Chains A and B, each alone.
Chain A
Amino acid sequence: MDILYSDKPMLALLVSAVAAMFILFTGERRRNLREFWTLLASVVKFSIVASMIPLVLKGKIIECTLFHLLPGVAFQFRVDAFGLFFATLASALWIATSVYSIGYMRGLQAHSQTRFFFCFAFALHGALGIAFAGNLFTLFIFYEILTVSTFPLVAHKETSEAIRGGRKYLAYLLTGAVLIFFSMGVTYALTGKLDFVAGGFLQGSGSDPLLRLLFATFIFGFGTKAALMPLHEWLPTAMVAPTPVSALLHAVAVVKAGVFCVLRVVLYVFGPKLLYDLDLWLALAYFASFTIIVSGMFALAQDNLKRRLAFSTINNLAIIILGAALLSPSAITGGIFHLAAHGFMKITLFFVAGAIYVKTHKENISELDGIGKKMPITLGSFAIGAMGIAGTPPLVGFISKWYLCLGSLEAKEIVFLFVLLISVLFDIAYFFPIVYNSFFKKTKDEMKSGIQEASMFMVAPIVLCAILSIVLGLSPNAFVHFFEMASSAMKNILGSGGG
């Protein structure tokens, strides 16, 4: 594989860190300038990331080594197809979220907006760092940056509920981090290296029970961030955060970073062959299936819209992990692609929930009757997103689900096909009542008639994301070649690991 040395990964990372500093020093007085920094940074960041796509698609790896940390481990960024996939997703959706959060925060006249935008930019810094990290050690550094920078966002409201949410978030994630720390130490003690290798590098370096234990601590460690059940409890609680946070971080950057790390461990540390030998893939697949089914049930019971979305997120994250665990070509492609597919659809749904909240201060599903007539564009987008999650063609959700189903057939495990199909039924069961009620039920008296959409800052990103999830469904390679990146990542993994 060709390796190309370039500073671009580092630049892409630094953009948001530098922007965070500008945001901090601009402050509340010049809020327009402050928001300008956010927007500028998100666009610049996306363009830097996007500029790397053609090279990576040609099979090159972009590398940037800063300095040496431990014997055999450097502070290093290595951009491969998989990492770039996640980076593209996170930075693309940051643009939409930036626009949206300006509308949201101003619409609610929220306090401490500087801290909010500062931490947001830093969280993105962490997410990109995770995407580009060339080894576990570098990844862990950014993983912790992401964890810590998200804490103030979760506790943003400063109510006792928000602070409790923040505490819970930290308790779960720091415990997870400690487990990762441990697993990383053991890995390093076993092999003396931590660099990711497509197809894994742990083979033959420890006794079977030890490797199984290591796998468990890795999965439980990263699983906290990926909200695998029973480690998910922080995510619904963290929904007290402002909606842009829930949207980008709890649907894309943070939890997906968790999933991304799980996939990195599964596919780039352990590797398909080792997982087959130790039968761990099946254990992980069942673990994920459990989450898929149970979170679906939980979602049905939620009345708070954002909490329902949170459980749906947990459901979809587990689907991605299931894809990786099945280790068949289509399943891996589908799983990776679902990272992006779910990202676009779920962010639409969260944006809608936020728009409803800003406009009507309603958070519960039971209060949303007839709201579709007030906010037709918003709720229309919600319907699109919901259909996408349920896997309706021609939406983007269909493509990933299709590949995942194919993958479970390739893996010759029919059980997981049923799990996937049941999860689709759950999706329909918990989303469609919302769509139905909001459009077809009578409006309650207290609401005035007439169209009352939220501000343009909020509607535009909603519509954009909804449209994108249709366009990507029709042409999965549109704009940034998501599908091609996913399949090239799959080829790297299976090509050298020998699935």
Chain B
Amino acid sequence: MTASPFPILVIVVPLISAFLIILLGWLKKSLCYPFMIASLMATVFFSMAILRWIIHHGTLHYYLGNWDPPWGIEYLIDPLNAFVLVIVSVISLLIGIGSKPMVESDIPRKSIYFYCLFLLQVTGLLGIVVTGDVFNLYVFLEIASLAGYALIAIGEEGAPFASFNYMIYGTIGACFYLLGVGYLYIMTGSLNMADLSKLLPDLYASKVVLMAFAFFVVGVAIKMALFPLHVWLPDAYTYAPSSVTSLLAPLTTKVGAYVLIRIMYGVFKPNFSIEVIPATTILSWMAFFAILFGCVLALGQRDLKRMVAYVLIAEIGYIALGVGLANRNGLLGALLHIMNDALMMACLFLIVGAMTYRGWPRQMERFTGLHRKMPITMAAFVISALSVIGIPPACGFFSKWYLVLGAIDAEQWLFVAVLLISSLLNAILFFRVIEYVYFEPVAKESEVKPSEERTKFMGNEAPLTMLIPIILFALAILSVGLLSGTIISLVIQFALPANF
């Protein structure tokens, strides 16, 4: 029974396009980029269509090859997937648009393969979100990860090693996940999430199921770089090309968070994760340290890209904290933060990309006078910085609001404190950069020799293909927060587990 073909199209279109792009590249190289954009646009269209369907008709099922579940693979889309799906597809479209100048300057000869890997990466991420089958999820996880390793290795000096490091961690994570799948399969004989959630409650006492759960959580925590399993992230995201970082940083970690929510509150029932074993408590404390560590370590960085990578670790902590709080407001905050943080990180890394593209060093001491050269980019930077700090009306504030409410509801005052303190630490982090950009007098002998073109106002602004996504992200950051009430009442509140 198929009500709509979109769930499969959203996967198949980018997957096929990824391979077509290589063929196309042999014919004519310049066609690759438009083709990739077209295919990304199609995925955005499909995911929007899915979201619309969900809002109007509720859950959407798609049975692959018309095999009924639990025998066949089922793509099951409820408000939770649909929400994440739209985030993933929209952000990858915008990053895809912005990637062109960076790709052409970084790896001009291999751009075809870059676009191919880019689409594979997107396919993997979308697949993880769409599927309703734990093993199928593993397959997509590997597609995304392998594409990710390759993409990261493209980057500057140090990237191959960072990528190798990431691969080791990522493989361990994937193995853990697969072991979890195996254990569950042994116990229940099923791989379908909906089916599992029906079969599992009788087996909650079993040690094997407990093991499986632990494998799942640890495996996913590695993928989403939750402290203390974050070690691969800063190097990988710093050395990767900016076009890659701006795709991976906002999305892989968020998709990881989605899987975590799906496993903890979907496959397993919430009362298992909360009561049978204190998984949520452990998760909250990991998140607590993630937030502190991320912010504090970021303080020590002078390289903007690396600093944002550490901030990302703290942001993942927010999401994990919301999941760990295990109440309505906390989870609302986590889901909202998946969206908000994806926007903020995409915007920040794209801005870093635009700066490197224009030949600026990433060392923040050298940012003096940047606001005259790239006024629009820097305005967008300020907006996303304010959002990370959590200053309204930027969207970061609203997710933080729900997280704080969740922590208050749970009467976990330490978590309230860490959320608030991290705001202050983020303020130090980002206002330090803003000071360099806007207020430090331009050094006389700066390393970047200002040419005629550079000294002119706006003379050195990012190219239009990057500027448009940056502006769109900044506008989204400003407006999504104020609309959060609407977004919650339309989608997110239905994405919560039933008894929240």
Contacts and interface: CB of A to CB of B under 8 A. Distances in A.
B392 A185 contact: no
A70 B402 CA distance: 10
Given A141-B393, A152-B438, A155-B439, A182 B423 contact: no
B401 A185 contact: yes
B427 A174 contact: yes
A170 B435 CA distance: 12
B420 A178 contact: yes
Given A141-B393, A167-B431, A178-B423, A189 B439 contact: no
Contact of A181 (B404, B438, B439, B483): B404
Interface string A8-33: 00000000000000000000000000
B420 A67 contact: no
Contact of B405 (A67, A75, A145, A188): A188
Given A140-B392, A144-B391, A182-B420, A69 B482 contact: yes
Contacts of A163: 435, 439-440
Contacts of B408: 185-186, 189
Nearest to B404: A185
B455 interface: no
Contact of A67 (B404, B416, B486): B486
A contact patch SS: helix
B485 A174 contact: no
B68 interface: no
A69 B440 CA distance: 38
Contact of B409 (A67, A152, A170, A189): A189
B424 interface: yes
Nearest to A163: B439
A145 B420 contact: no
Contacts of B424: 174-175, 178
Interface in B337-359: none
Contacts of B398: 69
A148 interface: yes
A152 B386 CA distance: 14
Nearest to B488: A70
A104 B363 CA distance: 37
Contacts of A185: 401, 404-405, 408, 416
Q: Which of B405, B421, B489 has the most CB of A within 10 A?
A: B405
Interface in B136-188: none
Contacts of B431: 151, 167, 170
Interface in A31-80: 67-70, 74-75
Contacts of A162: 439
B391 A148 contact: yes
A144 B483 contact: no
B405 A189 contact: yes
Contacts of B393: 141, 145
Contact of A166 (B386, B400, B427, B439): B439
B439 A70 contact: no
B338 to A, nearest CB: 19
A7 interface: no
Interface string B399-441: 0110011001100000010001101100100010001001111
Interface residues of B, number: 32
Contacts of B59: none
A413 interface: no
Interface string A179-194: 0011001101100000
Contact of B485 (A67, A155, A175): A67
A158 interface: yes
Nearest to B332: A70
A140 B397 CA distance: 11
A155 B439 CA distance: 7
Contacts of B483: 67
B335 to A, nearest CB: 15
B484 A69 contact: yes
A123 to B, nearest CB: 14
Contact of B427 (A74, A140, A170, A182): A170
Interface string A454-492: 000000000000000000000000000000000000000
Interface residues of A, number: 31
Contacts of A70: 401, 485
B482 A75 contact: yes
Contacts of A155: 435, 439
A272 B435 CA distance: 43
Nearest to A179: B420
Interface string A202-217: 0000000000000000
A74 B431 CA distance: 30
Contacts of B435: 155, 163, 166-167
Contacts of B440: 158, 163
A144 B416 contact: no
B485 A68 contact: yes
A177 B400 CA distance: 13
Contact of B486 (A68, A151, A181): A68
B222 to A, nearest CB: 32
A194 B440 CA distance: 41
Given A185-B404, A185-B408, A141 B438 contact: no
A144 B441 CA distance: 27
B150 to A, nearest CB: 41
Q: Which of B409, B427, B440 has the most CB of A within 10 A?
A: B427
B392 A141 contact: yes
A162 to B, nearest CB: 8
Interface in A134-155: 140-141, 144-145, 147-148, 151-152, 155
A488 to B, nearest CB: 30
A274 B420 CA distance: 28
A3 to B, nearest CB: 22
B391 A69 contact: no
Interface string A269-293: 0000000000000000000000000
Nearest to B493: A71
Nearest to B400: A181
A185 B398 CA distance: 12
B485 A69 contact: yes
Contacts of B421: 178
Interface in B480-500: 482-486, 489
Contacts of B482: 67, 69, 75
A476 to B, nearest CB: 36
Contacts of A189: 405, 408-409
Contacts of B486: 67-68
Interface in B457-492: 482-486, 489
Contacts of A69: 398, 482, 484-485
B250 to A, nearest CB: 24
B494 to A, nearest CB: 15
A353 B401 CA distance: 42
B441 A158 contact: yes
Nearest to B382: A148
A144 B397 CA distance: 11
Interface string A101-120: 00000000000000000000
Contacts of B391: 144, 147-148, 177
B395 to A, nearest CB: 12
Contacts of A174: 389, 423-424, 427
Contacts of B389: 174
B6 to A, nearest CB: 30
Contacts of B400: 181
A170 B391 CA distance: 12
10 contacts: A68-B489, A69-B482, A75-B482, A141-B397, A166-B435, A170-B431, A178-B423, A181-B400, A185-B404, A185-B405
Interface of A: 67-70, 74-75, 140-141, 144-145, 147-148, 151-152, 155, 158, 162-163, 166-167, 170, 174-175, 177-178, 181-182, 185-186, 188-189
Given A68-B489, A145-B392, A158-B441, 11 more contacts: A67-B482, A67-B486, A141-B393, A144-B397, A148-B386, A155-B439, A163-B435, A163-B440, A166-B439, A174-B423, A181-B401
Listed from nearest, the 3 A-B pairs whose CB atoms lie closest are A141-B392, A69-B485, A178-B420
